[in-house]
Amino acid sequence: MIDTILFDLDGTLCRFSQDDFINTYFKEIAKVFAKMGFDPEASVKGVWVGTKAMIQNDGEELNTIRFWDAFSEFMGMSDEQRKTAEAACDSFYTNEFNIVKSIVDHSEIPKKLVRDMAARGYLIILATNPLFPPCAVDSRLDWIGLSKNDFELITHYENSSYCKPNPEYFREILSKIGKSPEQCLMVGNNPAEDMVAAELGMDVFLVTDYMENETGIDITSFRNGTIEDMEAYLKSLPVIGK
């Protein structure tokens, strides 16, 4: 019986186009490194290098270590510059990053649904790809009226050793929350990254409003629909304990 719901964040609860996010985000993050004297274009390339290192993480280290090792090596940073960059990025994600909020397609459904399902007895997990520090996740949740207190667990690069689409990412979550795949429903907008949870035995729902399907995966095998369809499906689930 399903008693746990895992929600993706970007494009699912936080409704925006991935292309709009990338364009706006990288324009702003480049300014952080420019202030430190680094070339903005090289800095953006460095962030992609660090992101790739996290996606390829084999579980031996936390994602944050993989990112900063790869990024600082690419940029030729000293240990002192690396520490300064980490602090500057945390400050950015708490402050200037909020400029990106302008691209969000506002809806009350995500906030209401997360809290309604928790009130119905479900364990609520934020299964966002752990490519960012916790402060960046906190900011994005604030954009949609939610907070870390609305979730039993939130994945970020300081507590995760894998990334989507690696199935080990979901196994790591299951281990932390003490649940079996059959107890879980994964809700996301990316068939390659989110629906891989079905391979472990989780139920899944693909939200199609801002779907990311670059490789054209056939989605007919997944329960899917708009955010309104997803809301209706979750509300059809039984109240836990009744």
Considering the domain architecture, whether residues 88 and 116 belong to the same structural domain is answered as: no
Residue 51 pLDDT: 98
Contact between 140 and 11 under an 8 Å Cβ cutoff? The reply is no
Considering the domain architecture, whether residues 43 and 127 belong to the same structural domain is answered as: no
Q: Would you say residue 242 has pLDDT above 70?
A: no
Q: Specify the 3-state DSSP secondary structure of 62.
A: coil
Considering the domain architecture, whether residues 153 and 37 belong to the same structural domain is answered as: no
Which residue in this structure is represented by tokens 């950015």? 92
- Of 41, 66, 101, which one is at a domain's C-terminal end? 101
Rounded to whole angstroms, the maximal C-alpha distance in the chain is 60
**If we measure between CA atoms, which residue out of 135, 144, 165 comes closest to residue 15?**
144
Cα(173)–Cα(38) distance, rounded to whole angstroms? 36
End-to-end CA distance of the chain: 12
Considering the domain architecture, whether residues 142 and 90 belong to the same structural domain is answered as: no
Residues 111-162 pLDDT 10s: 999 999 999 999 999 999 999 999 999 999 999 999 999 999 999 999 999 9
Considering the domain architecture, whether residues 173 and 86 belong to the same structural domain is answered as: no
Residues 149-173 pLDDT 10s: 999 999 999 999 999 999 999 999 9
Give the CB-side neighbour count of residue 7, counting CA atoms within 13 A. Answer: 31
Considering the domain architecture, whether residues 149 and 216 belong to the same structural domain is answered as: yes
In-domain check, residue 185: yes
Considering the domain architecture, whether residues 23 and 131 belong to the same structural domain is answered as: no
- Three-state secondary structure readout of 180-221: CHHHEEEEECCCCCCHHHHHHCCEEEEECCCCCCCCCCCCCC
Considering the domain architecture, whether residues 144 and 195 belong to the same structural domain is answered as: yes
Residues 6-16 pLDDT 10s: 999 999 999 99
Considering the domain architecture, whether residues 119 and 180 belong to the same structural domain is answered as: yes
- Of 101, 135, 167, which one is at a domain's C-terminal end? 101
Residue 15 pLDDT: 96
In-domain check, residue 112: yes
Q: For the domain that residue 187 is a member of, what is the CATH number?
A: 3.40.50.1000
How many domains does the chain fold into?
A: 2
In-domain check, residue 241: no
Q: Specify the 3-state DSSP secondary structure of 98.
A: helix
Domain that residue 80 falls in = 19-101
183, amino acid identity: Q
In-domain check, residue 124: yes
In-domain check, residue 42: yes
Segment 9-27 shows an average pLDDT of 95
Considering the domain architecture, whether residues 117 and 231 belong to the same structural domain is answered as: yes
Residue 188 pLDDT: 98
Considering the domain architecture, whether residues 49 and 112 belong to the same structural domain is answered as: no
Q: Would you say residue 196 has pLDDT above 90?
A: yes
Question: 65: buried, middle or exposed (CB in 10 Å: 19+, 13-18, 0-12)?
Answer: middle
Considering the domain architecture, whether residues 161 and 193 belong to the same structural domain is answered as: yes
